[in-house]
Amino acid sequence: MAQCEQCGRQLPPFTFRKICQWCVQHHAAQRGDDSAYQRVEAAPWLRQQSTSMVVTQVIFGINAAVFLAMTLAVGMTLFGDPAWNELTVRLGANVGPYTIAGQWWRLLTNIFIHGGLLHFAFNMWCLWSLGRLAESVYGHWTFAAVYLICGLSASLGSILWNPGVQSVGASGAIFGIAGALIASFYLGEFSLPRSAISGMLRSVVAFVGYNLVFGAMIAHVDNAAHIGGLVMGLILGALIARFAPQHDAILQRIGVLVFGAVLVACGAPLARSRAYRAYGHNSSAPLTAANLDAAIKELQKAAKERPDFVPVHLGLAQAYLDKQDYESAAVELKRVVALDPRNEDAYYDLGRVYLQANQPAKAEDAFTQLLKINPNSANGHAGMGRIFAYERRYEEALAEYKRVADIDSLYQGVYFKIGVLEAQLNQYDDAIAALLKQRQTWDDADNERQLAEVYEAEGMTKEAKAARAKAEELSGKN
């Protein structure tokens, strides 16, 4: 197919022209011929005055100010730490459970917060590079609106993909700007040969592709936000290039931007429909802080949203266990078993509930069912060991715990349990060996006290004294 001699665009088939219609219009416009109307977007390759990137500078300044304030509050960090992460939540990080619960402002505020120095530095470098280019193409107010709408879309994409993730950073909005530039460079008309625009297009596409691949390889990178921003940017950039390329096409541009904002607003109910996953994830924070009532409240919301979501009922059962509400815990675990008859965690926790409720027969039934599902379940054999020890069937309990050690030698406290049972059976040498083995992986005061008792039973006074001293030292640390 023939190409324009001046700009390189492809000419229509079966034409005898040597230059394209766009170049004809361009030359007419240069001559002042108003009859040949030509749509031309702003030229991004021209050196602009410093005011041309005023919005980019303002956005950069807001991000820098927030980062500086956080640094003054909790200190500098490269990758973030617990204090920094807690501060990001207070300032407006996009945390699914909080956002979906009604704090929708987090969709916007999180794009001005960063997770550490490296995160901030990389995003600001990208913003400075792409922002001034995009601002020269779209103008100040259009660029600002595109940036914010793409940031909102990125935040929404993050919630839709994984509503339990805590997300911060400007990268989603920056990906949106990159997407808008890609669409404009591909579909728009500029006053340079197409080859010049193609170079810019390749650079921006390479930026997007590299960072998406890099994000997929790094565990804590929120690629869902990147894709959410990119898709919105492509949409807005394409619509502006086709329907409102001129800076003075204010009404058309407002219409495009309102359309983008409506798309974001329509995504909110979809995010709300996934609230059950967010509430299930959110319960872990109150549990960690021992705020059981808050955890139970969040989990009950999740159960109401999605009654068949097994992790929610497991979380509720754990919360009730910690609160020593064994009856409620048993109810939740029975629901799990009804929904998933082969759920090993449910049978194990149900056995624990019955043991706490002083119902060893029911506990044994639960652990037996677990071992039918998985004969090599360390939890199942440990549960049976607890039952037999409770019933003073020490030899059977010892056999179960030894089976646990064979399956998982690092199972928490297994050699301590073995040592205690061997001491009950007067197998002192074996008990000492087991407790010393436990000491290698678990420096615990109870283990040292038990070791001291066994040493005394064997007449090893010096060793017993040393074990007691170590037990007191460990108790003091705790």
Under the banding of pLDDT at 50, 70 and 90, the label for residue 203 is confident
Residue keyed to tokens 């939890």: 379
290-298 LR contacts (CB < 8 Å, sep 24+): 290/322, 292/319, 292/322, 292/323, 295/319, 296/320, 296/323, 298/97
What pLDDT, on a 0 to 100 scale, did the predictor assign at position 37? 45
53-273 is classed in which CATH architecture?
Up-down Bundle (1.20)
Name the residue with higher pLDDT: 91 or 272.
91
Q: Which residues fall within 8 angstroms of residue 112, CB to CB, at 6 or more apart?
A: 62, 63, 66, 92, 170
Residue in 456, 448, 439 with CA at minimum distance from that of residue 472? 448
Total number of residues shown for the chain: 478
The yes-or-no verdict on residue 39 having pLDDT over 60 is: no
Write out the two tokens for 435. 């407790």
What pLDDT, on a 0 to 100 scale, did the predictor assign at position 33? 57
What pLDDT, on a 0 to 100 scale, did the predictor assign at position 84? 87
Which range has highest mean pLDDT (1-15, 273-287, 417-431)? 417-431
The yes-or-no verdict on residue 144 having pLDDT over 70 is: yes
Q: Which residues fall within 8 angstroms of residue 354, CB to CB, at 6 or more apart?
A: 330, 360, 362, 363, 366
- In Å, how far are 98, 149, 265 from 107, measured between CA atoms? 11, 10, 11
Same fold, 277-340 and 341-411: yes
What pLDDT, on a 0 to 100 scale, did the predictor assign at position 322? 80
For the chain, give every domain's residue range.
1-38, 53-273, 277-340, 341-411, 426-478
Pick among 3.40.10.10, 3.60.20.10, 3.40.50.2000, 1.25.40.10: CATH of 277-340: 1.25.40.10
Model pLDDT for residues 145-168, shown as the tens digit of each residue: 999 999 999 999 988 887 767 889
In sign, the C-alpha dihedral spanning 358, 363, 355, 353 is negative
Maximum distance among all alpha carbons in the chain? 112
The yes-or-no verdict on residue 407 having pLDDT over 60 is: yes
Name the residue with higher pLDDT: 269 or 225.
225
Model pLDDT for residues 93-110, shown as the tens digit of each residue: 988 767 876 788 999 999
Under the banding of pLDDT at 50, 70 and 90, the label for residue 53 is confident
Q: What is the DSSP string of 141-168?
A: HHHHHHHHHHHHHHHHHHHHH-TT-EE-
Model pLDDT for residues 437-454, shown as the tens digit of each residue: 999 887 789 999 999 999
What pLDDT, on a 0 to 100 scale, did the predictor assign at position 457? 92
Instruction: For 246, list phi and psi in degrees, rounded to 5.
Output: -80, 145
Check whether domain 341-411 has CATH 1.25.40.10, yes or no: yes
Point out the least confidently predicted range of 136-140, 184-188, 233-237. Answer: 184-188
Model pLDDT for residues 304-323, shown as the tens digit of each residue: 877 888 877 887 888 888 88
Question: Rounded to the nearest 10 degrees, what angle do helices 378-390 and 414-424 cross at?
Answer: 30
In sign, the C-alpha dihedral spanning 236, 239, 241, 244 is negative
What pLDDT, on a 0 to 100 scale, did the predictor assign at position 23? 73
C-alpha span between 307 and 140 (Å, rounded)? 49
Residue in 151, 197, 234 with CA at minimum distance from that of residue 41? 197
The yes-or-no verdict on residue 240 having pLDDT over 60 is: yes
Query: pTM of the full predicted structure?
Result: 0.58
C-alpha span between 43 and 21 (Å, rounded)? 19
Model pLDDT for residues 346-396, shown as the tens digit of each residue: 999 999 899 888 899 999 999 999 999 999 999 999 999 999 999 999 999
